[in-house]
Amino acid sequence: MKANEKAEWEQEYLTDIQVAKIIGRAVGTLRNERSLGRGLPFVKIGRSVRYKIADVHSFMDSRRVDPEN
């Protein structure tokens, strides 16, 4: 695999650091929510946590506010 090519799963999943930047929350907040059974759905493999991009999009869409004109 070339250095600039990502594995297929890496294109579909994000780290908690990446998600925190996207949604504007602290990484610690995401970690606390996980420990409390709240927040975004996630995948855990060993000690690694990943968030599916589609779930991040759904989370953002669910908080969309359409102001009335």
Domains of the chain: residue spans and CATH = 8-62 (1.10.10)
DSSP E strand boundaries for 1-69 = 13-14, 43-45, 48-52
- Per run of 10 residues, the mean pLDDT along the chain (length 69 residues) is 62 93 95 94 94 94 88
Distance, CA of 58 to CA of 69 (rounded, Å):
25
Q: Which residues on neighbouring strands pair with residue 48, listed in sequence order?
A: 45
Q: What is the separation of C-alpha 12 from the centre of its chain, rounded to a whole number of angstroms?
A: 10
Report pLDDT for 7: 66
Residue with tokens 């995401």: 30
Report pLDDT for 17: 96
The crossing angle, in degrees rounded to 10, of helices 27-35 and 16-23 is 110
